[in-house]
Structure 1
């Protein structure tokens, strides 16, 4: 979610609030179905565009949601070399799907014209890229890429050659996820239990999380005082502008999260939904190695073995 409101980010201490084991429910209004796909690769991320939902995954496949199955929109990745695609995001107008992956792969896919632009290896860098965040409209986006080298590569000119710069926010540990709520305001998390914040897109500050015991894999940045982080041990941390509040789903490792106020979805070894009372595990036809989630129409979860779940 991209919101342009920019407010002062306040620091606070971490607070822990462990929950009991999460019960499994299967209410009629929460039915997930397993969808057919045209490939058999791990799908790592999913987004909703103006042309519907798209997923990215192994061997450079980009899948699009069709009437009867998820078909192939593009294959081979932006370079045609079949690099795995690990992260994706969509421009504010929903017209361009950006994705990143192994060996420096960066692609920009026009969901209307089906054109694919290759922005790979910025400044000749071919590290593995784990996630991407884009803000702004098609053709004039700010692009932020997080990778294994611990650096964030960014371009304020739609990823054009010669417009990329980079910054190392922390210790150099792998950056696993990045998300923005404003044109140049967002958050990133790394494999060293650290959360970073920026309000100009180029300089970053550590904002937590003290006493965290698990690595972080997913982040949803909705505002300076509305941030959710998920990671190992089934942990969910929420920053409300004053303190970090911890919740526990009981899952082994959560890989992605998408929140809207007090409600949201998180995925890992299962699908979890949050309402005003807390997190609840949902009944699904598949539940292992889930990697990405998007809260759209429909809600979509993707994962290993070309798993696609819809609700």
Structure 2
């Protein structure tokens, strides 16, 4: 994905066409379930895991009760319990600096943490501007100690700091109607996307101001966004729906009825994964193929890497 890691997402340009049937857009084909090398691995927590990311030191997952897990040669181990404040606030989103050295995570009651994966030092940035609302997701760009930090608020606000989350550097903006912002992702320092609970997609080119760009007549909520450039954006949502923007039009794919909570696609669109309710996993190989998994638990997030990892309810971790 341009000059960032394969898990980065990006910004749209222009207003997308509607995805209603009347548009005549042909949907991606979707095949049925097939065998898959996904395996369940032992988890050190029974709390729901909401996000998973790769750093230079390996994979990390975050979840309920403020747990942070690290994937080690001896298996997954708990390295933080209670979140950045120690109060047990659940963590809902995570992201990694461009150099892979810092893991940022956000969650309930204004929780924001920055974890140095090399030294093991955890820095608490919680309650910026004295805000203690729930934070649903985070995207960071730039290197450790120099990051731009973008936090998606449950109250419909985007909070941002261009100075590594330092006190007195935070600002906020309300891009839409005040509906919860469910996911955020940036493909460049100040260029990115958000999706909210009002079936809306917004883009920014400066990290501070947002323009609504769709998605008309989608008729489902949006939960995940993965963009690889101005003309290559993927969205996952309710009712098993996936939407792709190619710079000209939106193309929908209907995988079934499971809400799809997260999506990751390569920058050349040759491979991708999306996960959701009931342990559903779909793999992109020209078309979206359902893959069998060893868990029926709801999956919340997925990351691609040397080992692909999906996490979800009850501390579920599956790998391939």
Q: Give the TM-score band, short-chain normalised.
A: over 0.9
TM-score by length of structure 2 reads 0.92
Residue 289 of structure 1 pairs with residue 298 of structure 2 = yes
Residue 45 of structure 1 pairs with residue 51 of structure 2 = yes
Residue 58 of structure 1 pairs with residue 68 of structure 2 = no
Matches within 5 A, 1:251-262: 251-260=257-266, 261-262=268-269
**Displacement, 1:69?**
2.1
Q: Distance in 2 between matches of 1:114 and 1:7?
A: 32
Contact 2:91 2:111 in 1 (8 A): yes
Residue 12 of structure 1 pairs with residue 21 of structure 2 = no
Deviation beyond 2 Å, 4+ runs, structure 1: 1-8, 14-22
**Displacement, 1:91?**
0.4
Contact 1:264 1:274 in 2 (8 A): yes
TM-score by length of structure 1 reads 0.95
**Cα deviation code 1:229-277 (max 9, x no counterpart):** 111000000111111111111132000000113220000020110111x
In structure 2, the partner of 1:170 is: 176
Contact 2:12 2:193 in 1 (8 A): no
Cα distance change on mapping 1:2 and 1:83 into 2, 3 Å: farther
Unaligned regions of 5+ residues in structure 1, if any? none
**Matched residues, number:** 307
Contact 2:11 2:204 in 1 (8 A): no
Q: Distance in 2 between matches of 1:220 and 1:19?
A: 17
Residue 274 of structure 1 pairs with residue 280 of structure 2 = no
Matches within 5 A, 1:12-161: 12-15=16-19, 16-18=25-27, 22-26=31-35, 30-161=36-167
Q: Distance in 1 between matches of 2:101 and 2:284?
A: 29
**Displacement, 1:20?**
6.4
In structure 2, the partner of 1:303 is: 312
Unaligned regions of 5+ residues in structure 2, if any? 20-24
Residue 187 of structure 1 pairs with residue 200 of structure 2 = no
Cα distance change on mapping 1:222 and 1:283 into 2, 3 Å: same
**Cα deviation code 1:277-297 (max 9, x no counterpart):** x10110111133100000111
Contact 1:83 1:101 in 2 (8 A): yes
Contact 1:10 1:225 in 2 (8 A): no
CA RMSD, Structure 1 to Structure 2 (Å): 1.7
**Cα deviation code 1:160-210 (max 9, x no counterpart):** 000000000000000000000000000000000000000100000001001
Cα distance change on mapping 1:24 and 1:187 into 2, 3 Å: same
Query: Which deviates more, 124-133 or 286-295?
Result: 286-295
**Displacement, 1:221?**
1.8
Query: Which deviates more, 7-16 or 192-201?
Result: 7-16
In structure 1, the partner of 2:273 is: 265
**Displacement, 1:78?**
0.4
Higher relative contact order (CA 8 A, sep 6+): 2
